[in-house]
């Protein structure tokens, strides 16, 4: 089923996407509709088809940007074979219709237009919380995945010291200068690096489990009526790696796009912890959850500010909530070590709102 179509890329025209898909599916493509992009560079298109399956999603990789990952880190792996592993394991992922990693394009099942983020915003609070709880039930299942020899890169990738250092540098270079309204001194940058390195060393002693890595409400699609049966589908799987068992829980329960109460978060953590394969001790679990909140939300805060600075105002509403999560986690952990106490002093300066950008 070879095609003479030009190699798809993030910059290719919809006609090229349609021609590529038509050649592989053997059906006509009636329309190629761009899907609004997220904070990353990857692009998505919804294809309306003249025959079964009726519609599909084209997922098109952007050209590799080495500045978007830690120095020395390998590029993000392709979607396959990790998607196939989850599918074989009974986890809800889109079916694959065609895949050409060398060309940077995947043709996937259309799992719907509504994310958990959107459903949560529109639903009554109890229904939204119930849907989040259902999504959290996927985490123990993900953590039970093991390497089956099919070449899934996630089992060779880890939340390691280099990734913590990358998050520290991003937070120190972007978020803190905004908070302090001045350039960060070398000593202040050193505070962030030292604290994140301390967190990295502590997390190195945690169990390593399969993690989606971006298990947040925009990467969970919802199908079905709000008052009836709903189905969840996991997307954006390619970044999966091994991480402490709290990592995916932080992604969703500290999701900047969801306004979750402290009592709901506490109940869900208490419910999920004993269901995890390692059933971590309560005190270790709570500490790592807060420490990973600091590193994860520090990175998110910096990325939101970067998007705002380049004129993308969609992320402005989420900066205040992200800063609040950082301040609260820093306050809870400041007594654990001197590096964390020094970090808490800097984090306390994060403003409620992002700076005005012309």
What confidence tens digit (pLDDT) does each residue in 140-196 have? 999 999 999 999 999 999 999 999 999 999 999 999 998 888 999 999 999 999 999
pLDDT classification of 62: cutoffs 50, 70, 90: confident
Do the domains 114-347 and 14-109 match in fold?
no
0.95 exceeded by the pTM? Answer: no
pLDDT classification of 14: cutoffs 50, 70, 90: confident
Give one word for 109, left, alpha or beta, with left for phi > 0 and alpha for psi -120 to 50.
beta
> In this predicted structure, what is the pLDDT of residue 263?
98
pLDDT classification of 12: cutoffs 50, 70, 90: low
Class (C level, CATH) for 114-347: alpha beta
> In this predicted structure, what is the pLDDT of residue 104?
83
Instruction: Locate the domains of the chain by residue range.
Output: 14-109, 114-347
Residue 229, both tokens: 């049966």
Residue 276: strand, helix, or coil:
coil
The Cα–Cα gap between 208 and 278 comes to 9
Instruction: Tell me the mean pLDDT in the region 300-324.
Output: 94
Name the percent of the chain lying above pLDDT 70. 91
> In this predicted structure, what is the pLDDT of residue 10?
43
Mean of the per-residue pLDDT values of the chain: 91
* Topology (CATH) of 14-109: Phosphorylase Kinase; domain 1 (3.30.200)
> In this predicted structure, what is the pLDDT of residue 193?
98
Question: For the segment 118-137, what is each residue's pLDDT rounded down to a tens digit?
Answer: 999 999 999 999 999 999 99
The Cα–Cα gap between 218 and 120 comes to 11
Do residues 217 and 120 lie in contact, with contact meaning Cβ atoms separated by under 8 Å? yes
Helices (H), the chain: 14-25, 82-88, 116-122, 125-136, 138-143, 161-170, 176-180, 186-203, 247-253, 262-272, 282-309, 319-333, 338-347
DSSP 112-148: -SEEHHHHHHHS-HHHHHHHHHHHHTHHHHHHT----
């Amino acid at each position: 089923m070879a095609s003479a179509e030009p190699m798809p890329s993030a910059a290719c025209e919809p006609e090229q996407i349609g021609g590529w898909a038509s050649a592989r599916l053997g059906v006509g493509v009636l329309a190629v509709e761009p899907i609004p992009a997220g904070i990353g560079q990857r692009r998505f298109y919804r294809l309306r088809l003249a025959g079964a399956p009726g519609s599909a999603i084209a997922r098109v990789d952007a050209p590799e940007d080495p500045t978007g990952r830690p120095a020395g880190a390998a590029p993000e792996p392709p979607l396959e074979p990790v998607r196939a592993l989850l599918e074989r394991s009974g986890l809800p992922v889109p079916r694959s219709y065609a895949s050409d990693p060398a060309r940077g394009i995947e043709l996937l099942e259309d799992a719907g237009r509504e994310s958990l983020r959107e459903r949560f915003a529109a639903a009554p609070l109890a229904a939204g919380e119930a849907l989040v709880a259902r999504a959290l039930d996927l985490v123990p299942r993900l953590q039970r995945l093991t390497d089956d020899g099919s070449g899934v890169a996630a089992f060779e990738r880890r939340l390691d010291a280099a990734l913590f250092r990358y998050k520290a540098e991003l937070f120190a270079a972007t978020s803190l200068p905004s908070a302090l309204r001045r350039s960060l001194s070398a000593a202040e940058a050193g505070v962030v690096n030292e604290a994140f390195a301390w967190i990295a060393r502590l997390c190195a002693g945690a169990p390593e489990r399969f993690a989606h890595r971006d298990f947040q409400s925009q990467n969970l699609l919802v199908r079905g009526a709000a008052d009836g049966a709903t189905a969840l589908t996991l997307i954006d799987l390619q970044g999966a790696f091994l991480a402490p068992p709290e990592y995916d829980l932080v992604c969703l329960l500290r999701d900047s796009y969801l306004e979750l109460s402290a009592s709901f978060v506490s109940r869900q953590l208490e419910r999920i912890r004993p269901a995890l394969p390692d059933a971590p001790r309560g005190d270790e679990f709570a500490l790592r959850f807060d420490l990973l909140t600091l590193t994860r939300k520090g990175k998110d805060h910096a990325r939101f500010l970067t998007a705002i600075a380049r004129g993308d105002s969609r992320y402005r509403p989420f900066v205040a909530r992200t800063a609040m999560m950082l301040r609260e986690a820093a306050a809870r952990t400041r007594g654990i070590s001197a590096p964390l106490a020094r970090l808490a002093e800097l984090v306390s300066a994060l403003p409620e709102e992002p700076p005005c950008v012309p």
